[in-house]
Amino acid sequence: MTSAHTNALIHATSPYLLQHAHNPVNWYPWGEEALQKAQQENKLLIISIGYAACHWCHVMEKEVFSDEEVAAFMNAHFVCMKVDREERPDLDQVYMQACVLINGDGGWPLNAFALPDGRPFYAVTYLPKKQWLHVLQQIVNIHVQQPQQWIQQAQHLSEGIRQSLMIPLQPEENNQKPLLDIYISLFEQIQSSLDLTWGGFNRAPKFPMPAVWEWLLQYYYFTHREEALQAVNSTLHHMARGGIYDQIGGGFCRYATDSQWRIPHFEKMLYDNAQLISLYAHAYQLTHQNLYAEIIRQSIAFVERELTHPLGACYASIDADSAGEEGKFYVWTEQEIRDLFDETTASLILAYYHINRQGNWEAGKNILYVTEDDASFARQYQLDLQEWLMLLNQAREKLFAYRTQRIRPATDTKIITSWNALMIKAYIDAYRALGDKTYLDRAFDIICFIQKYLQLPDQSLWRNFAQDKPGIPAMLDDYAFLAEAYLEWYQVTFDIRWLEQARTLVQFASDHFQDATSKCFFFTADTLSPASGFRIMETEDQVIPSSNATMAHVLYRLGIYMDEPAFINHAMQMLHTMLSQVQTTPAYMAKWAQLLGLTSYGIHEIAVLGEEARVMAASMQQHFLPDCLFMGGLDENLPLLQQKLVPGQTRIYICKNRVCEPPVTSIAEALEKIARV
């Protein structure tokens, strides 16, 4: 079918940009061509940023950017650029900060207005056609009549962005409180903001924020504070039973709009599901709750079924919308349930998932969520527990089969290096928790894909891969998360190549991303043109952990593996630089807080050498041991392994600060030493 309009986005690889390729708006991708055109014609810029799974991005594309009247005005008075925020998170951060400074908050679609050189002076999120046209007209009128106003506003806003994005990095102070005291005090900092009834934080909307709960699991491990574990368990239970979790197909949505995790925005992101698989795996190792194992298996099945490329790497996301309606694929009517099941079964399913004729969401539409555990529900309805579980599983299978006949939401098939690195780690963590070796196979499939298609001969990386070709150079999170994944892969394989790969990635990042003064890392390489002159540092956790904090973790652990004091000192300098912010806002600095815990309590170096080294290490790694680094195999190829291999025996050495206890030969003895040393 021939389209009436085609713009420059037709050559893009991003599914989000391609969604706008046939708008009457004369969109350009971000780049020099559009910037030069704006300067040559003295036109203001519209920089519209979104992502493929975004519901309100679709609404604005359909109602506003597909409108001929709107497009004519935009084309006449502006140079218009579309940006996929997942390809260019650096641009998104700069222009989102402008939006927050102007409006107090932000969201997507993000529509920034900028001078021809790219400096923003105004920004809005979603607007319907009439309001959008009004804003455009006001901006053009001021540009014609009082052009200095926008120039001054851009200067003022640029200074605000610079101050907010370039974190005021404090030099290391000589008179800090002991690190251990700081770490122990952090829980009190966030305790009052936790929702003790429904889990998460006591505000809505609620995002999963896995890094926070990973930190609290570590905090419980070190301090034995029951309140920390209770906060994690409450959060994981209520998310698993809420509408934020797909009760029929598995996998988590991006966030819930309410305080009880029941009403989601329906897009499913790889980065959320990867992190949550790791989180539930760690929680299972600690608590052995069957619910957590079930969530791990179901979420992995979802990723393999719906987010996996034929060659093993993983796609970015699944849309919230299908057939033009948000959530249509996932919601149910009471009549659908009655039509699918006999009267008795239908009544049970309606009660279990809180489905009613009026709808628990929109008119007649129901989001499935659970409020009782299966044993309580079975008792309430005088059912045998095993019979109820069998009936429930059969019902889920029937609901799933029925749902597959619906129009599916679109998949953003872009492959992002950093998010795939998170999925490598998720598969490894799931293997450790559940012992399923196929998860290691899936992790290695992703590694092989990255090595073949996203890693260059000089060991630099591409950020993304779509339409069978790589996209743009990688950002810091790509290097940090992949190096972290390689460290995890080494611990389950004892193949020294992966430590060397991690070291190579760190070296490349140090050469091209590092700030000489603070020793922290910029988000973009020195080879990539910064957004409007801003070269930002990402130090806070958002929906994914801070790339700087992750790189500090990698440096610290690599330093221990390689006996490289310079790496450890670099990580400690970064931590001390951020320490004031960790104490002030620990909820957004959870990845740093985890590093603080490791440096405060110390890391156990676990050397396992001999024919059974991998088997014994795997058995030990079934336990939750966040303070342990495993190394070994059949070669004494790391400094700590020297002169420890004894032919015919498999020995386990528990070490701390490179001082080792006498070796043991049983896993029970090793675990006892870890608890004691």
pLDDT tens digits, one per residue of 295-315? 999 999 999 999 999 999 999
Run of H or E residues at 399: helix 385-403
Q: Is the pLDDT of residue 532 over 70?
A: no
Q: Is the pLDDT of residue 643 over 60?
A: yes
Give pLDDT, residue 168.
60
Give pLDDT, residue 161.
87
Strand 415-416 to strand 464-466: parallel, antiparallel, or no bridges (unpaired)? antiparallel
Phi, psi of 122 (to 5 degrees): -160, 155
Query: Residue 209, exposed/middle/buried by CB under 10 A (0-12, 13-18, 19+)?
Result: buried
Give pLDDT, residue 170.
61
Contact (CB, 8 A) for 407 and 329: yes
Q: What is the DSSP string of 521-589?
A: B-SS-TTS--BTTB-----S-SSS--HHHHHHHHHHHHHHHHT-HHHHHHHHHHHHHHHHHHHH-GGG-
What integer best gives the mean pLDDT of the chain?
95
- Structure pTM? 0.95
DSSP-derived secondary structure letter, 328: T
Q: What is the CATH number of domain 179-323+412-601?
A: 1.50.10.10
Can you name the residues that pair with 464 across neighbouring β-strands? Answer: 416
Give pLDDT, residue 142.
96
pLDDT tens digits, one per residue of 179-237? 999 999 999 999 999 999 999 999 999 999 999 999 999 999 999 999 999 999 999 99
Task: HSE, CB side, 13 Å, CA atoms: give it for residue 50.
Answer: 27
Q: Is the pLDDT of residue 171 over 70?
A: no
Give pLDDT, residue 325.
92
In the chain, % of residues over pLDDT 70: 97
Give pLDDT, residue 536.
86
Segment 285-296 shows an average pLDDT of 98
Matching residue, tokens 């992101």: 269
Segment 395-414 shows an average pLDDT of 97
Give pLDDT, residue 174.
46
Segment 107-119 shows an average pLDDT of 96
Give pLDDT, residue 77.
97
Instruction: Determine the Cα–Cα distance for residues 43 and 119; give it in Å rounded to an integer.
Output: 13
Matching residue, tokens 């956790």: 541
Phi, psi of 416 (to 5 degrees): -110, 130
Contact (CB, 8 A) for 474 and 527: no
Q: Is the pLDDT of residue 166 over 80?
A: no
Can you name the residues that pair with 325 across neighbouring β-strands? Answer: 322
Give pLDDT, residue 383.
96
Residues 6+ apart with CB under 8 A from 410: 15, 52, 318, 319, 321, 322
Lowest mean pLDDT among 163-167, 249-253, 503-507: 163-167
CA dihedral (348, 352, 357, 361) in degrees, to 10, reads: -170
The confidence band for 167, taking pLDDT boundaries of 50, 70 and 90, is low
Q: Is the pLDDT of residue 530 over 90?
A: no
Q: Is the pLDDT of residue 21 over 60?
A: yes
Show the tokens assigned to 449: 């894909």
The confidence band for 175, taking pLDDT boundaries of 50, 70 and 90, is very low
Give pLDDT, residue 486.
99
Give pLDDT, residue 621.
98
Q: What is the DSSP string of 214-253?
A: HHHHHHHHHH--HHHHHHHHHHHHHHHHSTTB-TTT--B-
Segment 441-465 shows an average pLDDT of 96
Length of the chain, please? Answer: 677
Closest CA to 260 of 276, 272, 245, 278: 245
Which of 3.40.30.10, 3.30.450.40, 3.20.20.140, 1.10.150.120 is the CATH number of 8-165?
3.40.30.10
Q: Is the pLDDT of residue 267 over 80?
A: yes
